[in-house]
Structure 1
Amino acid sequence: MSRVLLVEDDPAVRKGVQLALRHQGHDVFAAGTGEEGLENLSAFRPDVVVLDLMLPGIPGLDVCRRIRERDQVPIIIVTARGDDVDVVVGLEAGADDYVVKPVQARVLDARIRALLRRLDAPASDALRPRAETHGSLTIDRAGLVVSLHGMPVALAPSELRLLLTLSAAPGQVLSRQQLLEAVWEHSYHGDIRLVDACVKRLRGKLGELGGDPGYVQTVRGFGYCFRSS
């Protein structure tokens, strides 16, 4: 049974989603404010956070950022409009996925289970060495530990999965749609903003925002590839 921290200020929506997720087999703690959600993050120790962006008090985006400062728990943001700029801002703030209101319980349950499957079954090959080195970057696929210059790098689940997927085939260009299917398990023609936002966050954590293309390279018109050194 997975533990879900639901942060939603609308009482009716909060109760409906809580009941629906419990019916799907999840253990749900429901918070009505961002403050309450943050206060119970450590005590409840959720496997996934479902976070509404429109919250009183501490805005949902700030809650997302504060969670990322202290925890790499998967975060699914809830937004009122799929084409809203809040989607991109939320993803860049550290969210792993998003759903659009009105929330459909089956869709949300599928996104939660996909996130947890990605954690349980990382992109790896049993024949690959436990740890591989690419210049200053070390990737331990078995231990799911990434180090840069000998220092561990804290990666959110989608960032880690993206790095594991790209680095499994250095030099091979993967399209955004291929990455969407491999990392997020979105088999339909999905939202490539998930990919671009995650690449941006990953590059930032690998120190690649100073102009150096670094490890994750953009192949214009095609997608992304991993440069091993």
Structure 2
Amino acid sequence: MEKILVVEDDKDIRDILKIYLKTGFFEIWEAENGKQAFEVLENKEPDLVILDLMLPDINGLDICKNIRIKYKYPIIMITAKTSDQDKIAGLTYGADDYITKPFNPLEVLARVKAQLRRYKEYWKGSNEKNTIYYKGLILDRNSMHVNLNGINLKLTPTEFKLLEILLLNKGQVLSGEKLFHLLREDEYYSKSTNTITVHIRNLREKMKESFERPEYIKTVWGVGYIIED
């Protein structure tokens, strides 16, 4: 049974999430503040974390950043803030997705399942070529490791999947909408593609790409993104 850590200071919200997530046969761990979250994470490793941005003691962004130092499991950020800047901050610190309050619990359940499905796929054996090489870049699809010119890149599951998609489609310009659907593999997410821009930016920063003259992920203005063949 997969384990979900819910970090949320509002008990009513925790209870609602627990009810709906249990219908997906998940084991639920709870934390009502950052201190409790760290206590859980010191002794246990969840399969996914649902993390409130605004906690009474520790900022959710700091918790997200701390998790990403060591772990790659998915993080879904919950926020009452609706500005793009706040959402971008969560993705920049390593979150894979965000949900804005008030939310539909069924949507949360769908997103949790989608994130876990994609994450588990990284660890499955495959008959396809498991290692991709490109200009000093090595992407291992089994171990989910990426090495660039001898340096290991610490990518989130979403960043890894996005880079994998671009590499598997070398020579093709992929629009933000196309990348979005290939990444999410779920029509439930079709309402927005702006997260793609943020994930591309994060990837470029971790790869130390020049914005003006990127060597790997190139922008075709008004069309999309490409890794040239």
Q: Determine if the TM-score, normalized by the shorter chain, exceeds 0.5.
A: yes
2:90 is aligned to 90
In 1: Cα distance, 2:42 partner to 2:172 partner: 40
Number of aligned residues? 227
> What does 1:34-183 align with in structure 2 at a 5 Å threshold?
34-122=34-122, 128-183=128-183
Q: Please report the TM-score for the alignment, with normalisation by the length of structure 2.
A: 0.90
Deviation at 1:6, TM superposition (A): 0.5
Q: Please report the TM-score for the alignment, with normalisation by the length of structure 1.
A: 0.90
1:226 aligns with 2:223: no
Deviation at 1:19, TM superposition (A): 2.5
Deviation at 1:138, TM superposition (A): 0.9
1:198 is aligned to 199
- The change in CA–CA distance for 1:43 and 1:103 in structure 2 (over 3 A counts) is farther
1:161-215 alpha-carbon deviations (Å, 9 max, x no partner)? 0011110011211111111111123425332221111111111121215644121
SS at match of 2:139: strand
- The change in CA–CA distance for 1:84 and 1:152 in structure 2 (over 3 A counts) is closer
Q: Which amino acid aligns with 1:181?
A: H
Q: Which amino acid aligns with 2:191?
A: G
Deviation at 1:144, TM superposition (A): 2.8
2:30 is aligned to 30
SS at match of 1:159: helix
In 2: Cα distance, 1:195 partner to 1:19 partner: 31
1:119-147 alpha-carbon deviations (Å, 9 max, x no partner)? 2335x9x6653323211111223443211
Indicate conservation of the 8 Å contact 2:73/2:119, yes or no. Answer: no
**Unaligned ranges ≥5, structure 2:** none
- The change in CA–CA distance for 1:131 and 1:32 in structure 2 (over 3 A counts) is same
Question: For the aligned residues, what is the CA RMSD?
Answer: 2.2
In 2: Cα distance, 1:48 partner to 1:185 partner: 18
In 2: Cα distance, 1:219 partner to 1:101 partner: 34
1:189 is aligned to 190
In 2: Cα distance, 1:225 partner to 1:43 partner: 42
1:12 is aligned to 12
In 2: Cα distance, 1:116 partner to 1:140 partner: 19
SS at match of 1:13: helix
- Which 4+ residue blocks in structure 1 deviate beyond 3 angstroms? 81-84, 126-130, 209-212
Indicate conservation of the 8 Å contact 2:114/2:186, yes or no. Answer: no
- The change in CA–CA distance for 1:182 and 1:102 in structure 2 (over 3 A counts) is same
